[in-house]
Structure 1
Amino acid sequence: MPRTAARGGPQTRARISQIATQLFLERGFEAVTVAEVARAAEVSSVTVFKHFPRKEDLLLDRADDAAELLRTAVRANGDVLASLRAATLRLVDERHALSGLKDGSVPFFATVAASPALIARAREIADDLQQTLTEELTAPDAELLAAFYVSGYTTVLVETARRQLAGESPDEVVDDHRARVELLFDRLRTGFSG
């Protein structure tokens, strides 16, 4: 019988996600069931779904972190673009998982790329993040700015992932990744003319 005493809380959520990620990376996303994740984490399937409403969210578990990062950047005093730029570049400097530059990310990228369900969920998360950013912004062109930022940053991430899947290390792509982030913010500020 699975343990149920520690069914709630962030530690349980983190443990479930860590175990699920390990199973998905070892065997592939479609090959692992939620029931197997629950057994390995010594919780019930109900507990898994309490923390992760969708199976895909067991692997793509940083959406809340990304949304909070956007909210914090927009709510900071001053220039919204400067704040978003600083927050995005901080991810690069920290080699945060949301930057795509964290060591050991290649198995994650390969697992996502091999799963239509994970690709679809990643697109839904991007749409949700765009909506979150739109709601936080007060500018009349908030929806357009949010769309440009999320689509632009997604493009940077996909290229960084593609290069690492092709054999380059995070150290080899970090400078180009940073340059593409800087270009994104230059274009957001000045436009695309010329």
Structure 2
Amino acid sequence: MEEMGLRERKKRRMYQDVSDVAVRLFLERGFEAVSVAEVAAAAGISKPTLFRYFPAKEDLVLYRIADHETEAAGVAAGAADPVDALRRHFLAGLARRDPVTGLNDRPEVLAFHRLLYGTPSLVVRAYAHQERAEAALAEALGGGLDARLAAGQITAVQRILALENYRRIAAGETAEQVAPDAVEAAERAFGRLAAGLRGPVRKPAG
């Protein structure tokens, strides 16, 4: 078991290291200007090895948000009130300035967001990531049409709140300046979401 754990840690370290090298190069020169072969060379691995870890060039960037794909589903699973659990989770993310909430003004985070939102192929892949996150959340809510509808609305609220925070910070405001409005907007949005969904979100067992 310890040996398997070590192999898994080494694998994760490889993913992280190669992604970090790629993102640094993309930020310096632009996503389209850097080839996969250049990333492999900078990371000290062969191109075939890189493709074993990252099947597409875009995956080198999207790896940084891959862990968030099942985050909402994990929060909702087992919660008596999934919408309230997700509201509290989003507010906690705002409080710790989690980049996924958009409320983070660190230069490296802003640079990554500009890369992500400013590159068409990355936007397309990010949308696919969002669809998978939405599907995972729907499954956590019990599956079925009602769960998919609820998951779509919840995912949209999270995305729009985060994009609004990022938009304001990208325009020159600091995270501290945006924070009070971000909290108020999240409370309002999740409140309306809960009222609009009405009744239990999760499909009854059986």
1:180 to 180, 185, 206: 185
Alignment partner, residue 59 of structure 1: 61
- In the alignment, is residue 122 of structure 1 matched against residue 113 of structure 2? no
Structure 2: any 5+ residue segments left out of the alignment? 1-9, 198-206
The count of aligned residue pairs is 187
Q: Distance in 1 between matches of 2:16 and 2:99?
A: 15
Question: Equivalent residues in 2 for 1:13-52 (5 A)?
Answer: 13-52=15-54
Q: Distance in 2 between matches of 1:164 and 1:26?
A: 21
**1:78 and 1:99, CA in 2 relative to 1: closer, same or farther beyond 3 A?**
same
**1:180 and 1:61, CA in 2 relative to 1: closer, same or farther beyond 3 A?**
farther
**1:52 and 1:176, CA in 2 relative to 1: closer, same or farther beyond 3 A?**
farther
Question: Equivalent residues in 2 for 1:3-18 (5 A)?
Answer: 9-18=11-20
Once the two structures are superposed, residues 15-57 of structure 1 have per-residue CA deviations (whole angstroms, 9 ceiling, x without a partner) of 1111111111111111111111111111222332233222112
Query: Of Structure 1 and Structure 2, which has the larger fraction of its residues in helix?
Result: 2
**Percentage identity across paired residues of the two chains:** 34
1:154 to 156, 159, 164: 159
Alignment partner, residue 84 of structure 1: 86
Alignment partner, residue 113 of structure 1: 117
Tell me which amino acid in the other structure corresponds to 1:100: G
Larger RCO (CA under 8 A, 6+ residues apart): 2
Tell me which amino acid in the other structure corresponds to 1:25: L
Structure 1: any 5+ residue segments left out of the alignment? 1-7
Alignment partner, residue 101 of structure 2: 99
Tell me which amino acid in the other structure corresponds to 2:191: D
Once the two structures are superposed, residues 60-111 of structure 1 have per-residue CA deviations (whole angstroms, 9 ceiling, x without a partner) of 2244321232232122342111211122222212212212223222212222
8 Å CA contact 1:52–1:58 kept in 2: the answer is yes
> If the length of structure 1 is used for normalisation, what is the TM-score?
0.86
Tell me which amino acid in the other structure corresponds to 1:43: I
Tell me which amino acid in the other structure corresponds to 1:87: H
**Cα distance, 1:59 vs structure 2:** 1.5
Tell me which amino acid in the other structure corresponds to 2:103: L
Larger Rg, first or second structure (1 or 2):
2
- In the alignment, is residue 136 of structure 1 matched against residue 140 of structure 2? yes
- In the alignment, is residue 171 of structure 1 matched against residue 173 of structure 2? no
8 Å CA contact 1:148–1:188 kept in 2: the answer is yes
**Cα distance, 1:170 vs structure 2:** 1.9
Q: Distance in 2 between matches of 1:184 and 1:117?
A: 30
Q: Which runs of 4+ in 1 moved over 4 A?
A: none
> If the length of structure 2 is used for normalisation, what is the TM-score?
0.81
Kindly report the root-mean-square deviation, in angstroms, between the aligned alpha carbons of the 2 structures.
2.2
